[in-house]
Chain A
Amino acid sequence: MAGDQTNRLNNGGLIDRSTALNFRFDGKTFSGFKGDTLASALVANGVKLVGRSFKYHRPRGILTAGSEEPNALVELRSGARREANTKATTAELYEGLEAASQNRWPSLNFDVMSVNQLFAPIFVAGFYYKTFMWPAKFWEAIYEPAIRRAAGLGRAAQVPDPDHYEKAWAHCDVVIAGSGPAGLAAALAAGRSGARVILCEEDFVLGGRLLADGGTIDGLPAAEWVARAVAELTAMPDVRIMTRTTLFGVYDGGTYGAIERVNDHLPTPPEHQVRQRLWRIVARRCVVAAGSIERPIVFAGNDTPGVMMASAMRSYINRYAATPSRRIALFTNNEDGWRTAETAIAAGLQVAAVIDARPDVSPAHRSLASKGGFPVLHGAVAGVDGGKGGVRKISVSLTGGARAEVEADGLAVSGGWNPAVGLTSYHRGRPKWRDDIAAFVPDGAPPGMVAAGAANGAFGLGAGLREGFEAGAAAARDAGRSGNIGSMPVADDEAFSITPLWHVAGKGKAFVDQQHDVTASDVELAQREGFQSVEHLKRYTTLGMATDQGKTSNVAGLAIMAAVSGKSIPETGTTIYRPPYVPVAIGAFAGHHRDENFHATRLTPSHHWAAEQGAIFVDTGLWKRAQWYPRAGEKDWLESVTREVKTVRSGVGFCDVSTLGKIDVHGPDAGAFLDRVYINAFSSLAVGKARYGLMLREDGIVYDDGTTSRLAEDHYFLTTTTAKAGLVMQHLEFCRQVLFPELDVQLTSVSDQWAQFSIAGPKTRDLLKEIVDPAEDLSNEGFPFMGAREVKLRGGLKARLFRISFSGEMAFEISVPARYGEAMARNLMIAGKPFGVTPYGTEALGVMRIEKGHVAGPELNGTTTAGDLGLGKMMSTKKDFIGRVMAGREALVAPNRQVVVGIKPTDKARRLRSGAHIIPKDETPGPGNDQGYVTSVCFSPVLDQWIGLGLVERGRERIGEVVRAHDPLRGEDYDVELCNSVFYDPDGGRQRG
């Protein structure tokens, strides 16, 4: 049913003619076959015009048949799956594929912006920066948006990607990039030796250039040899073949990045499957058999649809049985290009002429020309006559100065081959120039990596097999594998001769970088304007900075640069190579980590119970914490929180505080150890007692706080803030292992072992008596303030009870093993029912700590000292501890430091906001008069007004002073009074009673 596939050959190709696939391009329906790419299917349907160029909106066709394609970029799929700038040359055809051309309006055939071509002389390198300079404010508002509309590529989908992506790790002895002759030979040698091998191939079929160029290996046609090699490799349990997978980067320590397009070849991924998978491959050795990329020659009109790389033309004809043109001219400067003439003749196409830039052509090719009845013209293509309909006529300047014209509808171009030196150069490697092949080849590689075959400049088939096989064998040997590698595959070596030719002078635009519309004259202009370094050339002209990263343009660009500056190509050098080798979707890098899986989540032991209660949760670090528990009829959070606070202050409430970091500190020197990490003493703490501790950083600034209890002579139970739990553990391990290794102390995180609840309010004891075994003495004498010990609960369960208070109320914290956490919450509700118990969340917790003047995160902010927090007296003078010396520095003990103080608006109805700056009453707000800011605020149900804590210069000496709270962010300015930071029960009678 090739019916409408006007440019499909009747026979041949690696396509499945029994599976026709319908697809749409720019709204028009076409058909192709399984095994086609979008590009080959378009070629088969005679479509030559596939896009408009970036800057000049020039008509563009298909230039290549691989991932180096600069022109044939489409928007693939539609709706949320629309993917801009997708290369038609690598997009596999599937039933129902939808694609649209880019950067044209209203249609590809009639593009309004192609008027830009008329202004082409002014769109030179640096044009935007030179032209749209004044007035400056116009840039953001007018120029840039307009330019962005006119110049550009595809449109992003603008809605979340509905597909899933994931990341995975793989490990092997040898990873091989590319499955051409060198890659397959490397895999055979390494696999036979017993090595674990991963073979990555970006195409969906193995074979590399063999798929298009064939040849004879071990006496077999290439296709047959490939099939045998693949069968042998597939049978090896430790060889993994990954098609549709591009090795895109190399990282330290033998780690490689690869992108696997798992389901890009289907309309949507099957259920439970991902679209793409990002691999991190850890390999002892890497063989880069990524082949080489044929390079264009820069001449006027070289971007006309129908001008195509010679090797790409062979790919379309041989691999896809699709003919880009019927009457082909070939422009080459090397032996290899001639293969396209052979291919065209074999396919029954006409060869109009071969234009060869070399002085001599081999006798074999001369006789091919005479048999084929086409002329061989010595010279170069000077111009192309054609347009959006494709090539019509080619003008040739012959060696010696004469002119000739060739009529053809297609022009195959071969300027030689550039080894794919990306992977070998990603660690700042600089490739070296080889005159014999007029190309850069790898000069060393990151540790463990070696290039083989065409990627190493060995262009012949025999040489490629040999280098690949030897590299594979050596890599396996280096990885300690010594199995029998069998015999090396053998093929003839073709001759390769080249006469470098980069740029043919002529009239009209000659493109170096077709994706970014950079011309030869842009490169020359940049040089004239003083951009001497290729790095500057690149950034000024944007040469090589498009999505193809200049795979077809970089070397030509620097060669032209070298020519105009009178330097050699190696003197001019290359730009730095950086990964990724092909564009990789951000979604693949994110993998599973998006939306609710953006990061891991921690749940408290009573989480599901709290959810049942209708708790509103807040993200604090990785935790989900109950923020408040709304009840029916409450109109907003403030009403719920106020009710929770009032219930605690008048009755009893409880809160899950399991998020605090908890660390078992064991060992004979546990007390001595804590003495060194806290500013206050712990060795003197009695067994059965708890103490509040403050930790400094070595620079004297407060690090963390929390209570630590002594449960046995050699066992302390230390708590940290929720935010710093992991960091404090790391810090304490540093102290134990690095700073004080002589101390016999052991640290274990028990954060997840214990469900811990704070129970607070005047009726706390009443509630506890219901839960705790009646034999336990909870009286003030039997369990005084700051007591800590194990108790038995009703039913026999053991718990730890701590008489500590963060709310200023009579309070205990109770710990049970975490799997009892939910039962504890339920039982507290049952036991507390007669006393009107309420669960409370982090908001009420915050309100009560502010009312009580306790410092927390906003005050422990990495700039405050113990003195700033009003805790300076805790600092022991009898022992050394971390931060002691630096805490005594002049600036840290200066009398004018900003210290914690209470703040309340003079107008009781006013809402206080954190972040407001404190300015003396009669001064003008400004940096010179800024005396601090409000750190924490809440509505205090006890005082029936908004209150807060702040860090204010000499705050504690200024109690009673009225100052300005200046809040330019919210446009507010009001008077506040500095007051004692302990708003509630300042003598502490309630918590001790």
Chain B
Amino acid sequence: MRIVCPFCGERELGEFTYLGDAKPQRPAADAGEEAVYDYVYLRDNVAGVMSEHWYHGGGCRAWLKVTRNTLTHEISAVEPAAGAGAAKVGA
């Protein structure tokens, strides 16, 4: 498999590390145990298009959001994590 890193260009799979589903958002500090439990443990077992976190640790060290079809391995989009590089987030 090859992933087009938005910063480095197309690279082979060995440069990347897979983390998992990029959909769950870390709950706010006061969200309570149930919300955190869902965030930590509950995952969809997607057969099809899925948004995933990948780390380009063998390259530019950017975290990426990769849209991948788990059935065909086709990658339809790759975007950097919100805070990759010096990107300014929020106010």
Task: Indicate yes or no for A touching B, C-beta below 8 A.
Answer: yes
A-to-B contact residues, CB < 8 Å = 251-255, 280, 282, 447, 698-699, 726, 730, 733-734, 736-742, 880, 885-886, 888-889
Contacts of A255 in B (CB 8 A): 1-2, 12
Chain B nearest Cβ from A284, distance in angstroms = 11
Q: Which of A251, A698, A730, A738 contacts B17 (CB 8 A)?
A: A730
Contacts of A739 in B (CB 8 A): 26
Contacts of B39 in A (CB 8 A): 698
Known: A252-B1, A255-B2. 20 other contacts (CB 8 A): A251-B1, A252-B13, A253-B2, A254-B2, A282-B2, A447-B74, A698-B40, A699-B40, A734-B19, A734-B53, A734-B63, A737-B80, A737-B81, A737-B84, A740-B83, A741-B83, A741-B87, A741-B89, A886-B36, A888-B33
A-B contact pairs, 7 of them (CB 8 A): A252-B73, A280-B12, A699-B40, A737-B83, A738-B82, A741-B82, A742-B90
Q: How distant is the Cα of A738 from the Cα of B12 in the complex, in angstroms?
A: 23
Closest to B91 in A: A742
Which 10 A-B pairs have CB atoms at the shortest separation, nearest pair first?
Answer: A741-B83, A253-B2, A880-B29, A741-B89, A252-B1, A737-B81, A737-B83, A885-B36, A742-B90, A737-B63
Contacts of A698 in B (CB 8 A): 26, 36, 39-40
Q: Which of A253, A447, A736, A880 contacts B1 (CB 8 A)?
A: A253
Known contacts A698-B40, A885-B33, A886-B37; decide if A736 and B2 are in contact (CB<8 Å).
no
Contacts of B36 in A (CB 8 A): 698, 885-886
Contacts of A730 in B (CB 8 A): 17, 55, 57
Residue pair B40, A886 in contact (C-beta under 8 Å): yes
Q: Which of A251, A699, A741, A888 contacts B81 (CB 8 A)?
A: A741
Residue pair B55, A734 in contact (C-beta under 8 Å): yes
Closest to B56 in A: A733
Contacts of A726 in B (CB 8 A): 57
Asked if B61 lies at the interface with its beta carbon under 8 angstroms from chain A, I say yes
Q: Which of B30-82 contact A (CB under 8 A)?
A: 32-33, 36-37, 39-41, 53, 55, 57, 61-63, 73-75, 80-82
Q: Which of B13, B29, B32, B83 contacts A736 (CB 8 A)?
A: B83
Q: Which of A253, A733, A741, A888 contacts B55 (CB 8 A)?
A: A733
Contacts of A733 in B (CB 8 A): 55, 61, 63
Contacts of B83 in A (CB 8 A): 736-738, 740-742
Q: How distant is the Cα of A479 from the Cα of B87 in the complex, in angstroms?
A: 34
Interface-centre pick from A280, A726, A742 (highest chain B CB count, 10 A):
A742
Closest to B81 in A: A737
Residue pair A252, B63 in contact (C-beta under 8 Å): no
Q: How distant is the Cα of A699 from the Cα of B37 in the complex, in angstroms?
A: 8
Chain A nearest Cβ from B23, distance in angstroms = 12
Known contacts A282-B2, A885-B33; decide if A737 and B62 are in contact (CB<8 Å).
yes
Residue pair B2, A738 in contact (C-beta under 8 Å): no
Known contacts A698-B40, A740-B83, A886-B37; decide if A252 and B2 are in contact (CB<8 Å).
yes
Q: How many residues of B contact A (CB 8 A)?
A: 32
Q: How distant is the Cα of A205 from the Cα of B56 in the complex, in angstroms?
A: 42
Q: How distant is the Cα of A311 from the Cα of B33 in the complex, in angstroms?
A: 73
Closest to A749 in B: B61
Contacts of A740 in B (CB 8 A): 83
Contacts of B13 in A (CB 8 A): 252-253
Q: Which of B33, B55, B73, B81 contacts A889 (CB 8 A)?
A: B33
Contacts of B55 in A (CB 8 A): 730, 733-734
Q: How distant is the Cα of A888 from the Cα of B90 in the complex, in angstroms?
A: 30
Q: Which of B2, B26, B37, B82 contacts A737 (CB 8 A)?
A: B82
Q: How distant is the Cα of A736 from the Cα of B75 in the complex, in angstroms?
A: 25
Contacts of B74 in A (CB 8 A): 447
Q: How distant is the Cα of A282 from the Cα of B1 in the complex, in angstroms?
A: 10
Q: How distant is the Cα of A942 from the Cα of B87 in the complex, in angstroms?
A: 55
Closest to B25 in A: A739
Chain B nearest Cβ from A667, distance in angstroms = 10
Q: How distant is the Cα of A730 from the Cα of B54 in the complex, in angstroms?
A: 11
Q: Which of B1-35 contact A (CB under 8 A)?
A: 1-2, 12-13, 17, 19, 26, 29, 32-33
Closest to A699 in B: B40
Closest to A741 in B: B83
Contacts of B32 in A (CB 8 A): 885
Closest to B41 in A: A699
Q: How distant is the Cα of A737 from the Cα of B41 in the complex, in angstroms?
A: 21
Q: How distant is the Cα of A733 from the Cα of B40 in the complex, in angstroms?
A: 18
Closest to A743 in B: B83
Interface-centre pick from A280, A726, A741 (highest chain B CB count, 10 A):
A741
Residue pair B63, A738 in contact (C-beta under 8 Å): yes
Residue pair A738, B53 in contact (C-beta under 8 Å): yes
Contacts of B62 in A (CB 8 A): 737
Contacts of A447 in B (CB 8 A): 74
Q: How distant is the Cα of A482 from the Cα of B55 in the complex, in angstroms?
A: 37
Residue pair B17, A742 in contact (C-beta under 8 Å): no
Q: How distant is the Cα of A736 from the Cα of B80 in the complex, in angstroms?
A: 13
Q: How distant is the Cα of A734 from the Cα of B61 in the complex, in angstroms?
A: 10
Q: How distant is the Cα of A253 from the Cα of B12 in the complex, in angstroms?
A: 9
Contacts of A699 in B (CB 8 A): 40-41
Q: How distant is the Cα of A699 from the Cα of B1 in the complex, in angstroms?
A: 31
Interface-centre pick from B36, B75, B87 (highest chain A CB count, 10 A):
B36
Contacts of A880 in B (CB 8 A): 29
Contacts of A736 in B (CB 8 A): 83
Closest to A746 in B: B86
Closest to A748 in B: B61
Interface-centre pick from B40, B73, B75, B83 (highest chain A CB count, 10 A):
B83
Q: How distant is the Cα of A698 from the Cα of B35 in the complex, in angstroms?
A: 12
Q: How distant is the Cα of A551 from the Cα of B84 in the complex, in angstroms?
A: 51
Interface-centre pick from A251, A253, A726 (highest chain B CB count, 10 A):
A253
Chain B nearest Cβ from A883, distance in angstroms = 9
Closest to A734 in B: B63
Contacts of B17 in A (CB 8 A): 730
Chain A nearest Cβ from B64, distance in angstroms = 9
Closest to B4 in A: A253
Q: How distant is the Cα of A736 from the Cα of B89 in the complex, in angstroms?
A: 11
Contacts of B57 in A (CB 8 A): 726, 730
Contacts of A254 in B (CB 8 A): 2
Q: How distant is the Cα of A742 from the Cα of B88 in the complex, in angstroms?
A: 7
Closest to B84 in A: A737
Q: How distant is the Cα of A252 from the Cα of B74 in the complex, in angstroms?
A: 8
Q: How distant is the Cα of A730 from the Cα of B32 in the complex, in angstroms?
A: 27
Interface-centre pick from B2, B62, B75 (highest chain A CB count, 10 A):
B2
Q: How distant is the Cα of A730 from the Cα of B19 in the complex, in angstroms?
A: 10
Closest to A740 in B: B83
Q: How distant is the Cα of A885 from the Cα of B35 in the complex, in angstroms?
A: 10
Q: How distant is the Cα of A974 from the Cα of B37 in the complex, in angstroms?
A: 42
Closest to A742 in B: B90
Chain B nearest Cβ from A67, distance in angstroms = 28
Q: How distant is the Cα of A889 from the Cα of B37 in the complex, in angstroms?
A: 10
Q: How distant is the Cα of A171 from the Cα of B52 in the complex, in angstroms?
A: 27
Closest to A882 in B: B26
Contacts of A885 in B (CB 8 A): 32-33, 36
Contacts of B84 in A (CB 8 A): 737
Contacts of B81 in A (CB 8 A): 737-738, 741
